[in-house]
Amino acid sequence: MKHRYLPMTETDKKEMLGTIGIESIDELFADIPEKVRFQRDYDIKPALSETDLLKEMTALAAQNADSRSHASFIGAGVYDHYKPVIVDHVISRSEFYTAYTPYQPELSQGELQAIFEFQTMICELTGMAIANSSMYDGGTSLAEAGTLAAGHTRRKKLLISEAVHPEYRDVVRTYAAGQSIEVVDIPLKDGKTDEDALASMIDGDTAAVMVQYPNFFGQIEDIGRFADMAHEHKALFVVSANPLALAVLTPPGKLGADITVGDAQPFGIPESFGGPHCGYFAVTEKLMRKVPGRLVGETTDEEGRRGYVLTLQAREQHIRREKATSNICSNQALNALAASVAMTALGRQGVREMAIQNISKTRYAIEAFKNAGFDVKFKGPSFNEFVVDFKEPVGQVNRRLLDSGIIGGYDLGLTYPELQGHALIAVTEKRTKEEIDAFVQEMEAIHA
Amino acid sequence: MHNENQPLIFEISKEGRIGYSLPELDVPEADLSSAIPAGLLREEPAALPEVSELDIMRHYTALSNRNHGIDSGFYPLGSCTMKYNPKINESVARLSGFADIHPLQDESSVQGAMALMHDLQEHLVEITGMDEVTLQSAAGAHGEWTALMMIRAFHESNGDHQRTKVIVPDTAHGTNPASASVAGFDTVTVKSGEDGLVDLDDLRRVAGEDTAALMLTNPNTLGLFEEHILEMAEIIHGVGGKLYYDGANLNAVMSKARPGDMGFDAVHLNLHKTFTGPHGGGGPGSGPVGVKKELVPFLPKPLLVKKEDLYTFDYDRPQAIGRVKPFYGNFGINVRAYSYIRSMGAEGLKLVSEYAVLNANYMMRRLAPYYDTPYEQHCKHEFVLSGRRQKKLGVRTLDIAKRLLDFGFHPPTVYFPLNVEEGMMIEPTETESKETLDAFIDAMIQIAKEVEETPEVVQEAPHTTVVSRLDETKAARKPVLKYVPKEQSEPVAVN
C-alpha cells in the first residue's frame, strides 16, 4: 500500500533496516509478548481516496441543519454570531495551527505574542488584572474556578446560582466531587438568583459564590450585591460572563469579582456542535499564582529585545506533577487566536456596536412575541436571550419550525421542570427583522 | 524568519480605524441607558485595538513568520507525535454542516453529525480493544481525569472506599499524577529498573488494598515497550486495582498490540497526536476515553447511542460520573480524526506504526556513536539520548537544543523523562522522509563535533532566530502578563 502521508520507499526501508542491522520491521516488535500481540488487521472501514472521502463527509454534513441554511434562534451558551472572514484566514496559517505548545520561545514568538495579546484583551473586557492563555471551555473554566476557590479558602462548599448554565453546573459538580467539595444550588426568584436565599445559605464554610452575567435566561443581574455578600463571609466571588455582553456591561472586575470565567466562542469561533470553543480564566492580582493553565509573560533576550515566554510554570503539571494547581496541559490555543483576531477586527467600536445590535434585536423580538399574545417570562433587563411560554412541548414546536427553515430555542423543560413548554430564545446581530417576524408568525400558526 | 521586532497590536492601533462590517440595524436601536440598569452600564469602553483589515492581516502574518510549525520543518518532539496534519481534515471540519451546527438543536436535525461521532466511537473501540468509548473529554489530561473519576466511582460502588492511591511510574507524563490529584487520589511512584521498564518487585511492594489504579504509558516515555505488561496487570488486578492506559504513545503500536488485550480497563487517546488533529499551538485537542464493560455504567453522560435507525444522547444513566464538559466534546477535532482514520484504513494505520518505529530505530542507531543511549534495546516510536558525555565538556542538553534551532529544526523534548540525565527524547513520526531524518542526524553529529572543538558555538546558540535566549527568570520574578500603555504607570502584575 502506498499513501500520500507516508514517504517511505522500498529503498529507504532496505537501507534503514541495514543500518539497524535487522532483516524485517517485525523484529522491532519482537518485545511485544506473543500473548498480547494483535494477530489480525483492524476490522474497520476501508481506506478512502481523497475524492471519495470528501464526497462521504460532504454527504454526512449535508444531513445536518446548519445556521447558514437556517435562521437560528438557539443560544444557551453557544451563539451564531458574525465571524469576520479574516479570522479563518489567520488561523489557517499553518505556522500557527501545526505548531505545538510554545515551550521553545525562540521558535514560537508569534504564538506567544498572540496569546499575550489575547490575555490583554480578556483583561480589558473583564476588568480583571490577569488572564490565562485559555481553558477548554466556559464550563470547565467555571469548574476550575470552583476548585481554585476551595483550595484558596480551604473551605469545602460552593454556592452556585440556578441561573448558571445547567450544563456548566453539572461540570462544576463533577470536578467538585473529585475533591470532595459540596455544591449547593442557590434557588431562582423571577428568573434571577434569589438574594434572600443566598443570604440565608452563605456561611463560614462557603468557598465561593458563583453566578452568571448575563444569566442563563438572558437576564442582567445586579451582581455587585453578591460580591459584597461573598466578601463579608471571606468567600470568593466567581462570575461566568459572556464576553460580548461585557462590551456594554460594567466589567465583573469592577463589581468585586475575584475570578471571572467564560467562553470566548462569541468571538469568531464556530458553533461546531458544542466544541472546540475557548474558555477564558481571569483573576485578581492576589490569585495570580493559583491560576490553572499557561500564562505568557513579557521579558527580554540577551540583546535586550522584547520577547515572550511561558511563565510562572511552577504552577503547572509538567513541573509540579501531583502538586500542580490543575492537570490541564493542552488548552484551546488556536481558538484563543481566533478570538483574538475577532476581538481585534471588531475592536473598540465593533464589540460595542455588535452588543447594542444584540440588545436591540432581542428587545424587538420580545415585543413581537408579546404583541402576538405570547407570555414572555421574567421582566428584568436582558442581553440577547429571553424566555417565552409556548404552552406546548418545545421539542415538537422545534421540529415544526425546522420545516420552515428555523432552528428554534432551547427547551427549558429539559433542565428546569417548572419551565415545561418554555423556550429560551437567542437573537444575535445576525438575525434580521424579517427572520424575527417570520419566526413569530410561524409560532402564531403553530399555536392557532 | 523575520528579525524585526513586531509591535503589539495595541501599538499599531489608531483611534477611528475599524476592521469589521456589521449590517445596518434594521430594528429600532435600544437606548442603553434605559436597557441596562444604572451601575451595570459600562462607563469606559474596553480598550480593544482599532485597526483596518490589512493591518490585522499584516500583523498576524508577521507573527506567523515568527513561529515554527510542522509545515515549517521537522519537529521531533518526543511524546507529542508531531506528524503531518492533513489538509483535507481542515476542509472537512469547515463544512457548514459540521462547523455551523448547534449542540442543543433538535436531534433529528443533526443525525449526520451524530452518525459521524458514533462511527468514530466504533472505530476507536476496535483500535483500542475496549467495549465502549466516549468522545466527551477535551484533551489527554481531561481524559485521564475522566477515567480516574470513573475508576473511583467503580470502587465506591463496591464499597471500596479505602482505594485512595494511584500508582504512577517515575517515567510518567506530568499530567498523570496531576490528574490523579484532581480526581482526589494520592499518587504513589513506582520505580523503573536499569532496563527502563517498571520494576516488578517495586510494583508488588507499592500495590495493595489501597490501590485504585496503575496509570501506564505503553510504550513508555523512554520509547520502550513494557514487555511484562501481563505480569503487571496480574499484580494490579490481583489486589483489586484497575489498569489505566495513557494513550499518548499509541502511534507506536497500532495494529501491533491493543490496550484492551494487554489487560487495561480504561484508556484515553490523544486524537491531536496519533490521529492528526493539529496541535494548534497548544490546543484544542481531543481525549476520548475507552473502557471495559465493568466501567461502562460510569461513563460520563450523555452517552451517544443508536436506537433502531436513529442516534440519540442517553441521559438516563444513574451511575454516570456526571458531565465532564458542556455538550459532547471537541467535535471539530473529532471530525478531523475521523477523516484521518477513514483515509488510512486498517493497512494504513498498521504502516503508520511500523514506519514510525522504523524511523526512530534508524535515528537511534545512527546517533548512538555520538551521544549516549541509556537503553540499548530496540525502541518503539521514540528514543531517549543522554547528553552526559557533552555535559562533561561543559555543554548542556539545553545548549544542544538551542543549537538545533540554527539548523531550522525544532528541538526534541529535553530533560524528560526525569530519570535520564540530560535527556533528549526524539520522536520522528512516520510522515517524515529519510532525507529529513538524515539532515537532522547530520546536524546532531555536527553539533557533537562542535561540542568537542568549538563548544562556545553551541553554548551561545541560537544565532539565527528572531530573538536570542530569553530571560525566563526575569519573566517569572516580575511578571508582565498583559500590555499596559506607556502613559500608564508600572505593570499591574507584580509580586
- Per-residue pLDDT of A398-427, as tens digits, reads 999 999 999 999 999 999 999 999 999 999
Last residue of a domain, one of A311, A342, A373: A342
Let me know whether A266 and A311 are in one domain.
yes
Q: Which domains are seen in chain B, by residue range?
A: 88-343 (3.40.640.10), 353-470 (3.90.1150.10)
* Band of pLDDT at residue B4, cut at 50, 70 and 90: low
| Partners of residue B325 in chain A, C-beta under 8 Å | 136-137, 139-140, 171, 275
Residue of A nearest to B82 (CA): A100
Paired sense of beta strands A375-377 and A306-311, if any: unpaired
- Whether B142 and chain A come into contact, CB under 8 Å, resolves to yes
Q: What is the pLDDT of residues B251-282, one digit of tens each?
A: 999 999 999 999 999 999 999 999 999 999 99
Residue in chain A lying closest to B81 (CA): A100
Task: Name residue B487's amino acid.
Answer: E
Q: Which residue of A has its CA nearest to B479?
A: A297
Cell of A232: 463579608
User: Are residues A110 and B110, on separate chains, in Cβ contact within 8 Å?
Assistant: no
Q: Measured between CA atoms, how close is A414 to chain B, in angstroms?
A: 11
Q: How far apart are the C-alpha atoms of A83 and A341, rounded to whole Å?
A: 10
Beta pairing partners, A131: A282
Chain B residue with the nearest C-alpha to that of A45: B345
Cis peptide before A7 (omega within 30 of 0): no
Task: Check CB contact under 8 Å for B141 and A134.
Answer: no
Q: Which of residues 273-332 of B touch A (CB under 8 A)?
A: 278-286, 300, 321-332
CATH code of A378's domain = 3.90.1150.10
Query: Is the preceding peptide bond at A276 cis, omega within 30 degrees of 0?
Result: yes
Q: Give the pLDDT score at B488.
A: 59
* pLDDT at residue B1 is higher than 50: no
Residue B217 one-letter amino acid: T
Strands laid side by side in the B289-291 sheet: B132-134, B289-291, B266-269, B242-247, B211-217, B165-169, B186-190
The number of residues in chain B equals: 495
Q: Is B84 on the interface with A (CB under 8 A)?
A: yes
Compute chain B's Rg from CA coordinates.
25
Strand partners, A377: A387
B413-414 and B423-426 beta bridge pairing? antiparallel
- Under 8 Å between Cβ of B264 and B236: no
Instruction: With beta carbons under 8 A apart, name residues in chain A contacting B152.
Output: 178
CATH of the domain at A145: 3.40.640.10
- Is a pLDDT exceeding 70 seen at residue B309? yes
Residue among B106, B182, B348 minimizing CB distance to A327 = B182
pLDDT-above-70 percentage for chain B? 97
8 Å CB contact between A213 and A375: no
**A404 and A308 within one domain:** no
pLDDT at A317: 84
pLDDT tops 60 at residue B490: no
Which residue in the block uniquely carries the three cell numbers 446560582?
Answer: A161
Does residue A22 sit within a domain?
no
- From chain A, the residues in CB contact with B138 under 8 A are 136-137, 140, 275-276, 330
Is there a single domain that holds both residue A175 and residue A125? yes
Phi, psi of A188 (to 5 degrees): -95, 155
A interface mutation test: which of B43, B67, B121, B190 has the most A CBs within 10 A? Answer: B67
Torsion of CA A324, A327, A332, A336, to 10 degrees: -20
Which SS3 state, helix, strand or coil, does residue A19 take?
A: helix
Handedness of CA B445, B446, B452, B456 (dihedral sign): negative
CB-nearest partner of A273 from B35, B51, B113 = B113
Note the pLDDT tens digit of each residue in A28-86: 999 999 999 999 999 999 999 999 999 999 999 999 999 999 999 999 999 999 999 99
Domain final position from A324, A342, A360: A342
DSSP reduced 3-state for A218: coil
Give the whole-angstrom CA distance, residue B55 versus residue B6.
Answer: 12
A246 and A379 co-located in one domain:
no
Contact A98 B29 (CB under 8 A): no
Domain assignment present for A53? no
- pLDDT of residue B493 exceeding 80: no
Count CA atoms closer than 13 A to B326's CA, side-chain side. Answer: 34
DSSP string, B112-161: HHHHHHHHHHHHHHHHHT-SEEE----SHHHHHHHHHHHHHHHHHHTT-T
Kindly tell me if the per-residue pLDDT of B492 is higher than 80: no
Per-residue pLDDT tens for B146-174? 999 999 999 999 999 999 999 999 999 88
Looking at residue B120, what is its pLDDT?
98
Q: Residue A321: list chain B partners with CB under 8 A.
A: 174, 177-178, 187
Cβ atoms within 10 Å of B113's Cβ, excluding its own = 27
Q: Dihedral (C-alpha) B153, B154, B159, B160: value to the nearest 10 degrees?
A: -100
User: Beta-carbon neighbour count of residue A442 at 10 Å?
Assistant: 18
Grid cell of B263 as nine digits: 489487560
Task: Report yes or no on A132 lying in a domain.
Answer: yes
Tens-digit pLDDT profile for residues B320-342: 999 999 999 999 999 999 999 99
B residues 396..435 contacting A (CB < 8 A): 401-402, 405, 410-411, 416, 430-434
Q: Which residues pair with A295 in a beta bridge?
A: A311
Q: CA of A224, closest CA in chain B: separation in Å?
A: 9
Our CA-based measurement puts residue B152 at a distance from the nearest CA of chain A, in whole angstroms, of: 9
From A104, A147, A306, residue closest to B410, measured CB to CB? A104
Nearest to B288 by CA among B143, B410, B179: B143
| Strand, coil or helix: A31 | coil
Q: Are A224 and A256 in contact (CB under 8 A)?
A: yes
The reported pLDDT for the residue numbered B386 is 97
Domain shared by A113 and A217, yes or no: yes
Q: Which of A317, A342, A367 is the last residue of a domain?
A: A342
Residue A42: inside a domain? no
Domain membership of residue A10 (yes or no) is no
Nearest chain B residue to A364 by CA distance is B27
Asked if A179 and A207 count as a contact pair (C-beta separation under 8 A), the reply is no
Closest-CA distance, B260 to chain A, in angstroms, reads: 9
Q: What is the structure's pLDDT at B44?
A: 94
Query: Both A223 and A334 in a single domain?
Result: yes
Q: Which residues of B touch A402 (CB under 8 A)?
A: 106, 108-109
A438 in the same domain as A417: yes
What average pLDDT does the segment A227-241 reach?
A: 98
pLDDT at position A320 is 84
| Count of domains observed in chain A | 2
Contacts of B141 in chain A (CB under 8 A): 317, 327-330
d(CA B370, CA B387): 10
For residue A27, give the DSSP letter: G
B386 three-state secondary structure? strand
Name the residue among B145, B327, B476 with its Cβ closest to that of A311.
Answer: B476
Task: Determine whether the interchain pair A347/B18 forms a contact, defined as Cβ–Cβ distance below 8 Å.
Answer: yes
Cβ separation B42–A137 shorter than 8 A: no
pLDDT at A171 over 70: yes
Q: For position B184, what pLDDT does the model report?
A: 95
Determine the average pLDDT of the residues in A350-362. Answer: 98
- B142 torsion bin: left (phi>0), alpha (psi -120 to 50), beta (else): alpha
Q: Which residue of B lies nearest to A79 if distances are taken between CA atoms?
A: B102
Cis bond upstream, residue B219 (ω within 30): yes
Beta partners for residue B372, in sequence order: B386
B315 and B301 in contact (C-beta within 8 Å)?
A: yes
| B6 contact residues in A (CB cutoff 8 A) | 109-110, 113
Q: How far is CA A366 from the centre of its chain?
A: 26
Q: Are residues A398 and A282 in the same domain?
A: no
B396 vs chain A: nearest CA distance in angstroms? 16
B229 close contact with A: CB closer than 8 A: yes
Distance from CA of B108 to the nearest CA of A (A): 8
- Cα A368 to Cα B28: distance, rounded to the nearest angstrom: 13
Spatial neighbors of B73 by CB under 8 A, at least 6 apart, are: B408, B409, B410
| Residues A264, A400 within the same domain | no
Average per-residue pLDDT for chain B: 96
Residues of chain A found within 8 Å of residue B58, distances taken between Cβ atoms: none
Q: Which of B380, B405, B470, B489 is the best mutation test for A, with the most CBs of A within 10 A?
A: B470
Length of chain A: 448
Cell readout for B384 is: 531517549
Find out whether A122 and A318 touch, Cβ atoms under 8 Å. Answer: no
Residue of B nearest to A26 (CA): B354
Size of interface A-B (CB pairs under 8 A): 709
Structural domain of residue A424, as residue ranges?
71-81+347-447
Rounded to whole angstroms, how far apart are CA atoms B236 and B246? 16
Between strands A157-161 and A206-213, the pairing is parallel
Cβ distance of A137 and B138 shorter than 8 Å = yes
For A309, residues 6+ apart whose C-beta sits below 8 A from its C-beta are A105, A112, A296, A297, A299, B470, B472, B475
A86-114 confidence digits (pLDDT tens): 999 999 999 999 999 999 999 999 999 99
Backbone torsions φ then ψ of A139, nearest 5 degrees: -70, -50
Residues whose CB falls within 8 Å of the CB of residue A349, separated by 6 or more in sequence, listed in order = B18, B45, B50
CB contact under 8 Å between A395 and B341, yes or no, is: no
Closest CA–CA distance from residue A202 to any residue of chain B (Å): 24
Q: At A300, is the secondary structure helix, strand, or coil?
A: strand
Q: Do B123 and A294 contact (CB within 8 A), yes or no?
A: no
Q: Is it the case that residue B2 has pLDDT exceeding 60?
A: no
Nearest CB neighbour to A395, from listed B106, B123, B324: B106
How large is the ipTM?
0.98
Residues A103 and A128 in one domain: yes
Mean pLDDT for B407-432 is 95
Residues A298 and A318 in one domain: yes
Task: Specify if A146 maps to a domain.
Answer: yes
Comparing CA positions, the residue from A143, A135, A129 lying closest to residue A286 is A129
Cβ atoms of A355 and B40 closer than 8 Å: no
- The reply to whether residue A294 touches residue B341, judged by beta carbons under 8 angstroms, is no
Helix axes B434-453, B331-367, angle to 10 degrees: 50
Q: Out of B279, B401, B475, name the one closest to residue A98 (CB).
A: B279
- Is A308 part of a structural domain of the chain? yes
| Contact assignment for B377 to A31 by CB distance below 8 Å | yes
**All cell numbers assigned to A215:** 444569566
Same domain, A122 and A231: yes
pLDDT tens for each residue of A136-166: 999 999 999 999 999 999 999 999 999 999 9
- Please, are residues B249 and B224 in contact by the beta-carbon 8 Å criterion? no
Q: B13 to chain A: which residues are within 8 Å by CB? A: 347
Q: Which residues of B touch A113 (CB under 8 A)?
A: 6, 8, 63, 66
Q: Nearest 5°: phi and psi at A301?
A: -95, -175
> Do you find a cis peptide bond into B284, omega within 30 degrees of 0?
yes
DSSP A107-161: GBHHHHHHHHHHHHHHHHHHT-SEE-S-BS-HHHHHHHHHHHHHHHHT--EEEEE
The span from the CA of A289 to the CA of A297, in Å, is 13
Distance from C-alpha of A48 to C-alpha of A59, rounded to nearest angstrom = 14
**A2 domain residue, yes or no:** no
pLDDT beyond 60 at B494 = no
Rounded Cα–Cα distance for residues B374 and B420 (Å)? 8
